[in-house]
Structure formats: structure tokens, C-alpha cells
Amino acid sequence: MEQELRDLIVREVAARNRPDLFREPLVAFSSAHDPRYAELKTIVDEAYLCPPELMADAQSVISYMILFTEEVVKAPQSDDPTLWGDAYHTANALFGPINEAIIQHLTDRGFSAMRIPAAYAWDPTTLSATWSDISAGAIAGLGTFGANNMLITEKGSGGRLGTVLTSAPLQMTTKATQNKCPYPEDGSCGLCFQICPSKALRLDKMIARADCEYEAGKDNKAYVCGKCISVCPLGYIEA
């Protein structure tokens, strides 16, 4: 089942025929009852909802990352950052059909499944989060957090993450992921702090959501900022 789901997600991305924007996605699985989800109520937001609170019979969480090409990752620091915006919005539009394909695959086999609707993610007024695709990806073992709060996978942090809950008892991903970001270890690098246009990144590793132009969505151009990823030596990793 796990390999079938990986293959399905890879096919769905490839079917869009956008090798200029996307690489082969990464897919991982976590238990809906992993205690780290409950810990996110303190780490992320007290309003955060654990998988069983979203779907009563949830047993597993499917996390996947649509990876950007090197050209896309580097675009925000170039003279023409529109490629990043194109990839960002195109990836967002892919989540609907990909999630529906996953759900259909699971329901055909007798399991229930649920995508995480956009409304669950965050409130643009209060910036209160009830779900975090990035945190789910970290729990599933896709990667670890960098100083810019982006998830650094084995292929970099440039990309978009999606989540589907299911009653299927999937085998959890057990591959250990080493934190590649040098900043937590010795304070080196810090390029993301230097380039952040709104100074939303802080030395205490907490992001100022109200100031982050990427999260706050002050206007369309700012909403797809991506500068902290573009300068990161780990934004794109060839693997």
C-alpha cells in the first residue's frame, strides 16, 4: 500500500508535465497517534488539532512534498522572481487533484480518508494555526527544520507540502533524518536572517508571523516571497 501511494503521487505530479517547475516528490507516513502531534499544541498553537480530532478513525498521516527545481528555488533572489510565484501557485493548485486521487485510491480499498482543507491551516486575521503541513512532514521523517523554519529534506527545502489523513494502517517511515542546517549547531551561515525583507526571522528561531510577508499575505508578490529559501545552501540539494 505504501509503495502504491508513493507511485500514485509521483505519477500525479509527472502528469502535469512541468519539469521546469517540479522534481519527483517525496512521500512519507506517520502514525495519527504519534505523541508529537499533541506536543504541537504547545509548539505551534494551542488551537492546533491532532489527527484524531480532525478525523475520528484516523490511523495514519500521509505527508508529501512537491519539490521545486533548482531554477525555481533560486528565482526569488534573481532579477525575475516570477518563476517562484508560478511554481508556488501551480503547486497549490495541484493539491486538490492529488489529494482526491489519494482519497479515491484508499476508499476503493475500503479505507476512509480526508484531505486537510485550507480553512484548517491558519486564520489570516489572527494567524492562529490549527494544522501544520510542515510539522506533519517533520514527524513523518521528511526532514528537519532550518533556522528559517522551513523543512529541509534530503533534496532541500524548496517545495510545498500536502497532507492526507486515513484509516489505513500504513507502515510508518523510520528513516532517520539528520539536521543539515548549521545554524542551530554553531550559529554559522544565517543568510536567511540577512535577506529577510521584513526581518521576521529571529535569532531565537521563532518566526514573527505577523511580520513574515510569506505568511501574512500582504499582497500577492509578498505572499510568495521565498527569499529565505533562495539563499539557503540547503534550499536545493541534488540527490
Most confident of 73-82, 96-105, 109-118, 140-149: 96-105
Is residue 185 in a domain?
no
pTM (predicted TM-score) = 0.89
Q: How far from 18 is each of 10, 22, 89, 233, CA to CA, in Å?
A: 13, 6, 13, 24
CATH number, residue 30: 3.40.109
Q: In the chain, how many domains are there?
A: 1
Q: Report pLDDT digits (tens) over 98-121.
A: 999 999 999 999 999 999 865 455
Task: Work out whether the CA dihedral 13, 15, 21, 23 comes out positive or negative.
Answer: positive
Task: Determine, yes or no, domain membership for 210.
Answer: no
> What's the whole-number mean pLDDT along residues 149-160?
94
Say how many Å lie between the first and final Cα of the chain, rounded: 25
b/e map 101-111, b = 16+ CB within 10 Å: bbbebbeeeeb
Which pLDDT score is estimated for 6?
98
Strands across the sheet containing 113-115: 26-31, 60-67, 159-166, 113-115
Q: CB within 8 A of 220, min separation 6: which ones?
A: 85
Query: SS3 for 58?
Result: coil
Question: Is residue 194 included in any domain, yes or no?
Answer: no
Residue 216 has pLDDT above 50, yes or no: no
pLDDT for the residue 204: 59
Is 181 inside a domain boundary? no
- Domain-located, residue 153: yes
Regarding predicted confidence, which is higher, 224 or 100? 100
Q: Is residue 178 part of a domain?
A: no
The domain in which residue 62 lies consists of: 2-169
Look at residue 64 and tell me if it is in a domain: yes
Establish if 232 belongs to a structural domain: no
pLDDT for residue 211: 60
